[in-house]
Amino acid sequence: MRAVVLDGKGSIEVAQIEDPVAGAGEIVIAPEAVGICGTDIHLASGDYPTGTFPVVPGHEFAGTIVQVGSDVNGFKVGDRVCVDPNVACGTCDQCQAGATNLCRNLVPIGVTSNGAVAELVKVPASVVFALPDGIDWTTAALIEPLACVLHALGRIAPVTGKRVLIYGAGSIGLLAAALVKARGAASIDIIEPSPVRREAALEFGADNAYAPGRRTAERDIDLVIEASGHPSAVSDAIAKLAERGTLLQMGVVSPNASIDLFPYDLFDRELSFVGSQSLATSYPAAVEAIKELPDLASRMVTHTFGLEDYAAALEAAHSESARKVHILPQR
């Protein structure tokens, strides 16, 4: 089969690799739509510490079952499905505590095992979910990033009545804006360098959208959602927090990056810093929530590419006009 293969050193190859075969408890899927996110960009450049190379990327996806292994119940060839990409062991201390995203033995599909930017992908049946009726492929591939935002918001107190500031109007920032607006935030501001993306932020529910450095007020925000992954944004976010404010860190920052931190601020203003990595147990909730967002794909997905154009897709994901970029492996 055809698949995109990353070597972790910047090389992107469209290669012919062996077709996967479903073993016991496994399912082989023909992916129909696969999203690109910040993790994939870091993987392609080799700037992702937990990546295992060579690897086929692609962890935001949905498709059609083409093969079902033994000991699999509830699924058959031809079923339309979506996939939680985090394969947790279920037995370690983190899994037992419900933090399956922090599993000691985690196998994230498309990061340490082959993912969906291929004509076929093999996954454990335990992470496969039936796609609700009426959900198209493009929408289905947005379930995973939606789950990430649902998990993040579950890590903090309710946002009702809160003054919210979001850094970054990429796909995660836009989804966060839509969700906190739906949950009753008092106000939503977004800081984003791209004027095109600032316009998108307003469309997704922001009250104001600023270029970096243009929002000068400080210590007036209850909740900052950092979705850009830039260290300078993290520093700026801390300065914006009001007393008892919360910084929710969702952006993937380079593991070698650091910022200056004044511990007195934590003490004196009673600040809270909360990390949110991936989606934990939020995928089933996102499968249900996506049904309430029928126009999400038309608003969110701006670019589509075939397998052979993965490098161009990564470049497009950096562009001002991109909200979410999808690969269509069967095209």
Model confidence at 263: pLDDT above 90 = yes
What are the chain's domains?
2-144+279-327 (3.90.180.10), 156-275 (3.40.50.720)
Burial bucket for residue 34 (CB in 10 Å: 0-12, 13-18, 19+): buried
Confidence band (pLDDT; 50, 70, 90) for 254? confident
Please state the length of the chain. 331
Q: What is the pTM of this model?
A: 0.95
pLDDT at 215: 97
pLDDT interval class at 38 (50, 70, 90)? confident
| Dihedral sign for Cα atoms in the order 91, 95, 98, 100 | negative
Nearest residue to 16 via CA among 305, 307, 304, 311: 307
| Mean pLDDT for the stretch of residues 32-45 | 92
Q: How many other CB atoms sit within 10 Å of the CB of residue 15?
A: 12
pLDDT tens digit sequence for 171-193: 999 999 999 999 999 999 999 99
Paired residues of 248 in beta bridges: 225, 274
> Encoding tokens for residue 300?
């969110």
Q: What is the distance between the alpha carbons of residues 269 and 303, in angstroms, rounded to a whole number? A: 43
DSSP structure string for 272-311: EEEE--S-TT-HHHHHHHGGG-TTHHHHHEEEEE-GGGHH
Preceding omega of 145 cis (within 30 degrees of 0) = no
Which pLDDT belongs to residue 252? 85
Is 90 exceeded by the pLDDT of residue 50? no
Asked if 89 and 95 touch (Cβ cutoff 8 Å), the reply is: yes
Residue 11: is its pLDDT beyond 90?
yes
Selection from 65, 60, 53 nearest residue 11 by Cα: 53
Percentage, residues of the chain above pLDDT 90: 92
Q: Can you give the pLDDT at residue 208?
A: 98
